[in-house]
Amino acid sequence: MEIKATEQPSRVRAFRGIVTPMVTPLRDRDSLDVAGLERLVEHILGGGVHGLFVLGTTGEAPSLGYRLRRELIERTCRLVGGRVPVLVGVTDTAFVESVSLARYAAEAGAEAAVLAPPYYFPAGQAELLEYLRHLVSALPLPVFLYNMPSHTKLDFEPDTVRAAAELPGVVGLKDSSANMIYFHRLQTLFRDRPDFSLLTGPEELLGETLLLGGHGGVAGGSNLLPRLYVDLYEAACRRDLNAVGAYHERIMAISNGIYSVGRYKSSYLKGLKCSLACLGICSDFLAEPFHRFRAEEHAIIRTHLAELGLL
């Protein structure tokens, strides 16, 4: 029997707080670092985050085979055991694979699906909305839209989001565009819909997002320092501008340090996984087309970790 989106529990509707887009601990390109996954889940939940998101960009989902994705979903849901809602990325260029993965996730106990646009073909906004109409009704989980134009080539334009938010089951949006004008425009459009959650992706923008009415963030750095991002969230809730500023500066130090090593745009992901390995939490293996940092970058990351007081 299919679970209907509208019967879902309320933990992801009107969601507020910090979600960790979990890295996927890998032993090699097609097997999980199972012990690392256990340590990582406990490390993250120990920091008090409000949700866990697997198979996002930080989770390298598009680079992972489907068997592995299913194993990761099943193991993570079991490890989390309902302590926080688990969100699962179901973005795919193929409609039927998104449905299949979402069904698996629902059965495993996940509480929401996260969906970026199909990322090969250049769809128009009207086509994108029609795609959402068809797909969302076929998904057994509430859906967060995921705006990620740098990787998908395609924005969810504000009018498209507004229309999609009328579909039963669409509960919020994660914006990773790093375009705060876009984000503020969505906030204005959704002023009358406090149940529709607006979350920011880049952690460098978390401070301002929360100070100006955003509902939360999906912060990659909370794999490493979950408490820092929760602290920032809580400082923003109590309107403590000085504390928010201080946490924001620490996040910028992480960003300018750990995420800025090496030549490529993948520095963030490599720096994050390398740091987790340095701290003994999980393996730093990355699936192709990436690879882990080699000795030289590894040493620089260790220096940054030391400067941040983490070693």
146 annotated active-site: yes
Q: Of 104, 174, 247, 259, which one is the catalytic site residue?
A: 174
- 116, 148 Cβ separation under 8 angstroms: yes
Rounded Cα gap, residues 236 and 243, in angstroms: 8
- 137, 167 Cβ separation under 8 angstroms: yes
Total binding residues toward a second copy, as defined by CB under 8 A:
69
Distance of closest approach, residue 81 Cβ to a second copy, in angstroms: 28
Distance of closest approach, residue 206 Cβ to a second copy, in angstroms: 11
Encoded tokens for 218: 């999906």
Distance of closest approach, residue 117 Cβ to a second copy, in angstroms: 7
Rounded Cα gap, residues 68 and 87, in angstroms: 17
**Is residue 249 within the footprint of a second copy (CB under 8 A)?**
yes
Distance of closest approach, residue 26 Cβ to a second copy, in angstroms: 12
The one among 11, 27, 50, 184 contacting a second copy by CB under 8 A: 184
Site string for a second copy, 137-176 (x = CB under 8 A): -------------xxxx-----------------------
**Is residue 118 within the footprint of a second copy (CB under 8 A)?**
yes
Q: Which residues in the 49-68 window bind a second copy by CB under 8 A?
A: 57, 60, 62-68
Beta strands 31-32; 26-28: pairing state: antiparallel
Amino acid at 194: P
Site string for a second copy, 250-289 (x = CB under 8 A): --xx-xx------xxxx--------------------xxx
Encoded tokens for 175: 């914006």
Coil vs helix vs strand at 256: helix
Q: Is the peptide bond before 289 cis (omega within 30 degrees of 0)?
A: yes
Query: Which residues have a Cβ under 8 Å from the Cβ of 185 and sit 6 or more positions away?
Result: 158
- 193, 186 Cβ separation under 8 angstroms: no
**Is residue 303 within the footprint of a second copy (CB under 8 A)?**
no
**CB-based burial, 79-109: b 16+ in 10 Å, e otherwise:** bbeeebbbbbbbbbeeeeebbebbbbbbebb
In the complex with a second copy, the residue whose CB is nearer, 167 or 179, is 179
In the complex with a second copy, the residue whose CB is nearer, 205 or 281, is 205
Residues that bind a second copy in the complex, under the rule CB under 8 A: 29-30, 57, 60, 62-68, 93-97, 100, 117-124, 127-128, 130-131, 134-135, 150-153, 178-181, 184-185, 187-188, 202, 204-205, 207-208, 211-213, 239, 241, 245, 248-249, 252-253, 255-256, 263-266, 287-291
Q: Which residues are catalytic?
A: 146, 174
